[in-house]
Structure 1
Amino acid sequence: MNSTQELSAHPETPSSFQQAKNDFPKSHRLLSPKSYSHVFAKAERFGNRNWTMIVRANNEDHPRLGLAIAKKQLSRAVWRNRVKRIAREAFRSHKKELSGYDIVVLGRNGMQNIDNKTLHSSFLHLVRKIQKSKLKNNSSK
């Protein structure tokens, strides 16, 4: 039996792992300066103590994420990379709720002192705020 058969036959293997629906393809990323400028042009700002999100509705069936974690806020690369990793993971796990939005995530000062669980839950708090907003309805007019 090869390793893929063993993996899929294992009873504890989650179906999301097998189907790879929790991925982060290039189509779900803001890659160019032009796409960032497009989001910043007519966007709504959502924020809390840990994160700031710049959000604009898009015409696609999936969300797109851009990260702008400045060296000014988090001076060490290790801290910036950790915060970006947490943001990407939270985005991946809540993609369905964010469908149809372009989002740029900005860091805040002092994020290096906050534990991962708190950062993840505060990201989720902003996801709920975005869902409750009428941003999609306003952009279609």
Structure 2
Amino acid sequence: MLRGSHFALHYCPNPDGTPRLGLVVAKKLAKRAVQRNLVKRIGRDVFRHARASLPPYDLVLRLSAKLDNVTRRAMRDEMIGLLGRLPRK
């Protein structure tokens, strides 16, 4: 598991040979549906752009802290940083 200031990235090897993504955004940490959907939309977009360079893992990106005053750019940068820290096979 890799941790950032607002997100945690869980990973395990995938026998299919392609990376897959799951997203978990709890109501406890993002009260409004608009905010939860924004986090998921940014997460899917970051994954889509990085997919070709990722190792074959099953990934779960989980929100682990409240998003008070966090910009979209900061969320995107943190997600990109977590994906970049994945161990290569």
Tell me if both proteins adopt one fold, taking TM over 0.5 as the criterion.
yes
- 1:110 CA drift (Å): 2.2
- 1:47 CA drift (Å): 1.0
- 1:84 CA drift (Å): 0.5
Aligned match of 2:23:
67
Higher-Rg structure is 1
Is contact 2:5-2:65 (8 Å) kept?
Answer: no
Q: 1:86 aligns with which of 34, 38, 42?
A: 42
Aligned match of 1:121:
77
Unaligned stretches of 5+ in structure 2? Answer: none
Aligned match of 1:18:
none
Aligned equivalents of 1:124, 1:70: Cα separation in 2: 21
Is contact 2:24-2:62 (8 Å) kept?
Answer: yes
Aligned match of 2:3:
47
Aligned equivalents of 1:54, 1:82: Cα separation in 2: 20
- 1:80 CA drift (Å): 0.4
RMSD (Å), alpha carbons: 1.4
Aligned equivalents of 2:64, 2:37: Cα separation in 1: 14
Aligned equivalents of 1:58, 1:115: Cα separation in 2: 32
Aligned match of 1:77:
33
Structure holding more helix per residue: 1
The alignment of Structure 1 onto Structure 2 pairs a total of residues equal to 89
What is the aligned-residue identity percentage?
31
Unaligned stretches of 5+ in structure 1? Answer: 1-44, 137-141
- 1:112 CA drift (Å): 4.9
Alpha-carbon distance change, 112 to 82 in structure 1, aligned in 2, over 3 angstroms: farther
How high is the TM-score relative to the length of structure 2?
Answer: 0.90
